[in-house]
Amino acid sequence: MSDLLRALAGETVDRTPVWFMRQAGRSLPEYRELRVGTRMLDACLTPDLAAEITLQPVRRHGVDAAVFFSDIVIPLRLAGVEVEIVPGRGPVFANPARTADDVERLIAIDPATLDGDAIAAAVRIVTAELGDTPLIGFAGAPFTLAAYLVEGGPSKEHLRARAMMHADPVSWHRLAGWLAAVSRRFLETQRDAGASVVQLFDSWAGSLSTADYRSYVAPHSREVIDGIGVPAIHFGVGTGPFLTDMRLDGAASAVGVDWRMPLDEAIGILGPDVAVQGNIDPALLQAPWPVLEAHVRDVIARGRGAKGHILNLGHGVPPETDPDQLTRIVALAHGEL
């Protein structure tokens, strides 16, 4: 079994397994070269291209896992929702889902009808080349998807999605339940084609109060991963105030921790029966190597008390990162430095 799967199962590993959120992307010159002339979502739905981009960081850095090159809005595109990713901005929807009628129109689309063939084809190419290295499949959590879909695009405080919870709770729960089914289907497609771990991204959950997270969000996120049959990592940014809720009543095998809270403190809160992932501060990637090295050693040391520790950043790789910094972190985690 690979070190990543062992760490997720709480078994002892000789070397700390490591991968990076957004490892497949703009920090790599070989990625930028391949992407010339192809729009983001079209690249995701071209199996050869998506597979090649997924494999690039594994070859370059020797990370312990690949993460599937795709996007959290891809299953919405597959459901026929009009969405584009605008460079430098993020997902933009032609028809935001703001009213009860908007929500009803949207949820009339049956998630079972999503055509996952391009996804499955890409995953099969990747897993054939990876051998024992696991492929991590992923999906967006209902709240993070709603943060874009209700607003119509990126926003700072996700006010429209959070407002819907209280102004029209019935529509909110119908929308979040549908988004959960769509993301579940996306995960199952990746799992069935060979992904051996999944990660649920609730990147913007940190804008919620603990009470709203519990009542309006956690039950829907749980639906996405509960009983999925492979280990599930649940990640969010700014979720310190409700970190234990991120375990989703045991549905998550590991909880992702951002850079704000020292890992040992997070482990103390989460308890001894769940693995953790994190939490190198992405800002430190800009620091001279000796500074970054000391930080990474500290993160590894603080992770020792966990049931299992997967080394990662506290959020995604910033585009301006020198890729050699990432390669050095992998070597350090593997005891080669």
Binding-site residue numbers for substrate are 22-26, 71, 148, 203, 315
CB atoms within 10 A of CB 173: 18
Which 125-154 positions form the footprint of ligand CP3 (CB under 6 A)?
A: 138, 144
Rounded Cα distance between 239 and 22, Å, is 19
260 binds ligand CP3 (CB under 6 A): no
Residue 24 Cβ vs ligand CP3, minimum distance, rounded to whole Å: 3
In the bound complex, what is the minimum distance in angstroms from residue 235's beta carbon to ligand CP3? 8
CB-nearer residue toward ligand CP3: 10 or 90:
90
Q: Is 35 a catalytic residue?
A: yes
Largest Cα–Cα separation, the chain: 58
For ligand CP3, the closer CB: 50 or 292: 50
Q: Measuring CA to CA, how many Å separate 170 from each of 107, 173, 186, 212?
A: 13, 5, 25, 14
CB burial class (10 A; 0-12, 13-18, 19+) of residue 310?
buried
**Catalytic, out of 15, 35, 174, 260:** 35
Residue (of 136, 163, 131) closest to 150 by Cα position: 163
Q: How far is the CB of 202 from ligand CP3 (least distance, A)?
A: 9
5: which 2 tokens?
Answer: 């799967």
Q: Is 31 a catalytic residue?
A: no
Q: Name which of 208 and 307 has its Cβ closer to ligand CP3.
A: 208
Sole residue written with tokens 């192809």? 38
Q: How far is the CB of 272 from ligand CP3 (least distance, A)?
A: 28
Closest by CA to 120, choosing from 66, 193, 55, is: 193
Q: In whole angstroms, what separates CA 287 from the centre of its chain?
A: 25
Q: Are strands 83-86 and 90-93 parallel, antiparallel or unpaired?
A: antiparallel
x-or-dash string of contact with ligand CP3, 158-187, rule CB under 6 A: ------------------------------
Q: Any contact of residue 90 with ligand CP3 (CB under 6 A)?
A: yes
Q: Does 67 bind ligand CP3 (CB under 6 A)?
A: yes
Helices (H), 97-168: 100-107, 117-130, 142-149, 159-167
- One character per residue 276-315, x = contact with ligand CP3 (rule: CB under 6 A): ----------------------------------------
Output phi, psi for 312, to 5 deg.
-160, 180
The answer to whether 203 contacts ligand CP3 (rule: CB under 6 A) is yes
How many residues touch ligand CP3 under the rule CB under 6 A: the total is: 24
Helix or strand run (H / E) with residue 246: none
Cβ 230 to ligand CP3, closest distance in Å? 16
**DSSP 8-class letter at 99:** S
Check binding of 25 to ligand CP3 (CB under 6 A). yes
Site for ligand CP3, rule CB under 6 A: 21-26, 35, 40, 67, 69-72, 85, 87-91, 138, 144, 201, 203, 316
